[in-house]
């Protein structure tokens, strides 16, 4: 975000930018509607580049260590690891920028290249999914998992996301996998991916406060209709008022414990 224009509750039109208002801009970009109605945004753009996508399957359990998991997540510009809390990675969806990321071999970190298109959810048709052949294509046809003309995922799930630090990823997955038999029937699938840190005051990924900076996000697609917002609420409660975006160590510790705990539910 480079600049933002909004109308306040008093009817004033306010313009803020990264260059002109560096001390407060990161608090205005993500304000959850508290500052006013956003009427205009200015975004930074990057040139579009062709991308390719490949999927590798059935990674062995011994590849669940921290270094191997981070190597998987570093395999492309965007990587998603699908699993079912059974101590191994079932699918790695790797999206690469042509000319920037090196194309992956047939066998990569113990996983084998999928011979035919697959869907991340068991039993769902792969026709819904974007091209996995490795052929270059425009980013909007490679970055999404699902083709725009089809229903994403199963269409009847509730998605929840949780954040943990990169260095805690392997231990977190191992701990939650101990509950695999209990939670597996409640989930379609779970996905791990990395999310870059940012400086936005209310962001759960802010580098200044969150224990999840540059963290993997664990996304679970629930079969049940219940949705508990406790994790997100914990993040919001840990945010300070207007003290420069920093929270005390005890806030960070409580935030980390709450978030990781609800990643297991």
Whether residue 216 is contained in a domain is answered as yes
Specify the pLDDT at position 247: 37
- Looking at 106, 141, 176, the residue that finishes a domain is 141
pLDDT digits (tens, 9 = 90+) for 52-95: 999 999 999 999 999 999 999 999 999 999 999 999 999 999 99
Whether residue 180 is contained in a domain is answered as yes
Calculate the alpha carbon distances from 18 to 21, 26, 201 in Å. 6, 8, 14
Burial of 7 (0-12, 13-18, 19+ CB in 10 A): middle
Which of helix, strand or coil describes residue 178?
coil
Indicate whether 180 and 97 sit together in one domain. Answer: no
Indicate whether 106 and 183 sit together in one domain. Answer: no
Sign of the CA dihedral running 74, 75, 79, 80: negative
At 218, the pLDDT band (50, 70, 90 cuts) reads: low
Structure tokens at 258: 């709450």
- Looking at 82, 116, 141, the residue that finishes a domain is 141
- Looking at 89, 111, 141, the residue that finishes a domain is 141
On the question of pLDDT at 261 being above 80, the answer is no
Indicate whether 69 and 123 sit together in one domain. Answer: yes
- Range of 187's domain? 158-263
At 165, the pLDDT band (50, 70, 90 cuts) reads: confident
Structure tokens at 262: 């609800």
CATH number at residue 242: 3.30.70.2520
Whether residue 254 is contained in a domain is answered as yes
* Alpha-carbon torsion angle 165, 167, 171, 177, nearest 10: 50
Specify the pLDDT at position 162: 85
Indicate whether 56 and 114 sit together in one domain. Answer: yes
Alpha-carbon distance 85 to 102, whole Å? 29
Calculate the alpha carbon distances from 169 to 159, 164, 193, 194 in Å. 19, 7, 10, 10
Alpha-carbon distance 45 to 22, whole Å? 20
**How many structural domains comprise the chain?**
3
Indicate whether 29 and 101 sit together in one domain. Answer: no
Phi-psi category of residue 95: left, alpha or beta, with phi > 0 → left and psi -120 to 50 → alpha? beta
CATH number at residue 55: 3.30.70.2530
Alpha carbon 243 to its chain's center = 27
At 220, the pLDDT band (50, 70, 90 cuts) reads: low
Indicate whether 38 and 55 sit together in one domain. Answer: no
Whether residue 81 is contained in a domain is answered as yes
- Whole-structure pTM value: 0.75
On the question of pLDDT at 24 being above 90, the answer is yes
Alpha-carbon distance 221 to 240, whole Å? 31
């Amino acid at each position: 975000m480079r600049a933002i224009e909004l109308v306040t509750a008093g009817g004033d039109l306010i313009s803020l930018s990264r260059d002109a208002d560096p001390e407060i801009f990161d608090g205005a970009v993500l304000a959850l509607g508290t500052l006013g109605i956003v009427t205009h945004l200015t975004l930074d753009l990057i040139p579009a580049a062709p991308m390719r996508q490949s999927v590798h399957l059935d990674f062995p359990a011994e590849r669940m260590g921290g270094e191997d998991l981070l190597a998987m997540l570093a395999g492309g510009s965007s990587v998603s690891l699908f699993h079912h809390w059974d101590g191994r990675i079932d699918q790695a969806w790797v999206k690469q920028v042509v000319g920037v990321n090196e194309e992956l071999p047939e066998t990569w970190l113990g996983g084998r290249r999928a011979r035919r298109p697959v869907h991340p959810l068991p039993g769902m048709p792969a026709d819904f999914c974007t091209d996995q052949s490795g052929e270059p294509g425009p980013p909007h046809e490679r970055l999404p998992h699902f083709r725009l003309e089809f229903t994403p995922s199963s269409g009847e799930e509730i998605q929840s996301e949780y954040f943990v630090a990169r260095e805690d990823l392997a231990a977190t997955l191992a701990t939650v996998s101990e509950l695999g038999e209990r939670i597996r029937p409640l989930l379609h699938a779970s996905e791990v991916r990395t999310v870059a840190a940012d400086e936005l005051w209310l962001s759960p990924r802010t580098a200044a406060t969150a224990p999840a900076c540059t963290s993997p996000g664990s996304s679970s697609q629930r079969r049940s209709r219940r949705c508990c917002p406790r994790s997100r609420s914990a993040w919001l409660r840990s945010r300070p008022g207007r003290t420069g975006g920093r929270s005390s160590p005890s806030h960070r510790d409580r935030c980390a414990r709450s978030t990781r705990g609800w990643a297991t539910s």
